[in-house]
Chains A and B, each alone.
Chain A
Amino acid sequence: GAGVSQSPRYKVAKRGQDVALRCDPISGHVSLFWYQQALGQGPEFLTYFQNEAQLDKSGLPSDRFFAERPEGSVSTLKIQRTQQEDSAVYLCASSSQPLSPEAFFGQGTRLTVV
C-alpha cells in the first residue's frame, strides 16, 4: 500500500474485553515497531519485529500484551482483559531495512477502555 495502515482507527472496549489492533506496513518493509502513546505524552516503545521475528518485546507493559507478525507483513497487537490504563493511541511504524534510520508511521488506533 501507499503508507502504513492501521485498523480500527478508534476502538472502545469494556474493561476486561480482549482487543486486537492491526497494522499493515508499507509493502516490503522489513522492520515493524509498535508504540503506545498515552494522552499528553510522547509515544513509548512496545515491541519490534524484523520480518516475522520478534526481536525486542522489552516495552510490553504486561503479559496481557501480545504481538505477532506471522508472515512478516501484517502485524497484530493483542491486549487481553483490557484495563483503563490501557487507554492510549497505539502507533505502528515500519522501515524498509533493519538499519534504515527512517520510520513511516500509521495513523494510529485510539483505544478507550471504559
Chain B
Amino acid sequence: KNEVEQSPQNLTAQEGEFITINCSYSVGISALHWLQQHPGGGIVSLFMLSSGKKKHGRLIATINIQEKHSSLHITASHPRDSAVYICAVSREYGNKLVFGAGTILRVKS
C-alpha cells in the first residue's frame, strides 16, 4: 500500500462546479503539500499544511491530522484549473517528499 493515496485518479468537471480532491496518508508527517503540475511544466506549490485550513483565492486546503486526511477544494472551477494535482507529505521538516500518484483534473467550458 502506498504511503500517500489520492482520489479520484481522474476528474472531469463543468466550468463553475465545486471540486474536491482527497488525500489519505498512512505515516506520521510534519507537513502536507498540495502541488499543481501542468502538462509539460514543472510543479508549483499551492499549499503547505500541518494543521487546520488554508485558503488562497478559489483554492481551499484542509487537513485532519487525527484521521490522516486532507482535501483540496476548488470553488467556481475554470478551464485554466485543468492540471494534475498532487498531494505530498514530508515525515520530517526539510526531508524528502513522498508523493501521491496525482489527480488529473479537466474542467470543461
Interface residues of A (CB under 8 A from B): 4, 6, 31, 33, 35, 40-45, 48, 56, 59, 91, 93, 95, 97-108, 110
In the complex, what distance in Å separates the CA atom of A33 from the CA atom of B90? 13
In the complex, what distance in Å separates the CA atom of A82 from the CA atom of B72? 38
The one of A98, A101, A104, A106 in contact with B31, judged by C-beta atoms closer than 8 angstroms, is A101
Query: Does B57 touch A at the CB level, under 8 Å?
Result: no
The one of A56, A59, A99, A105 in contact with B42, judged by C-beta atoms closer than 8 angstroms, is A105
Chain B residues with Cβ below 8 Å from A33 are 96-97
| Binary per-residue interface labels of chain B (21-57) against chain A in the complex, 1 for a CB within 8 Å, 0 otherwise | 0000000001101010000111111001010000000
CB pairs A–B below 8 angstroms (7 shown): A42-B88, A45-B96, A95-B94, A99-B93, A101-B93, A102-B45, A103-B97
CB of A32, distance to nearest CB on chain B (Å)? 11
Q: A101-B30, A101-B90, A102-B48 are in contact. Are A107 and B97 (CB under 8 A)?
A: no
Check B94–A101 contact: CB distance below 8 A.
Answer: yes
Check A98–B94 contact: CB distance below 8 A.
Answer: yes
Q: A42-B101, A42-B102, A43-B99 are in contact. Are A106 and B42 (CB under 8 A)?
A: yes
CB of A53, distance to nearest CB on chain B (Å)? 14
Q: A99-B93, A101-B30, A101-B90 are in contact. Are A45 and B44 (CB under 8 A)?
A: no
Chain B residues with Cβ below 8 Å from A48 are 95-96
> Which residue of B has the minimal Cβ distance to A48?
B96
Among A4, A43, A91, A110, find the residue whose CB has the most chain B CB atoms closer than 10 A. Answer: A43
Chain A residues with Cβ below 8 Å from B97 are 33, 35, 43, 45, 93, 103
In the complex, what distance in Å separates the CA atom of A70 from the CA atom of B33? 29
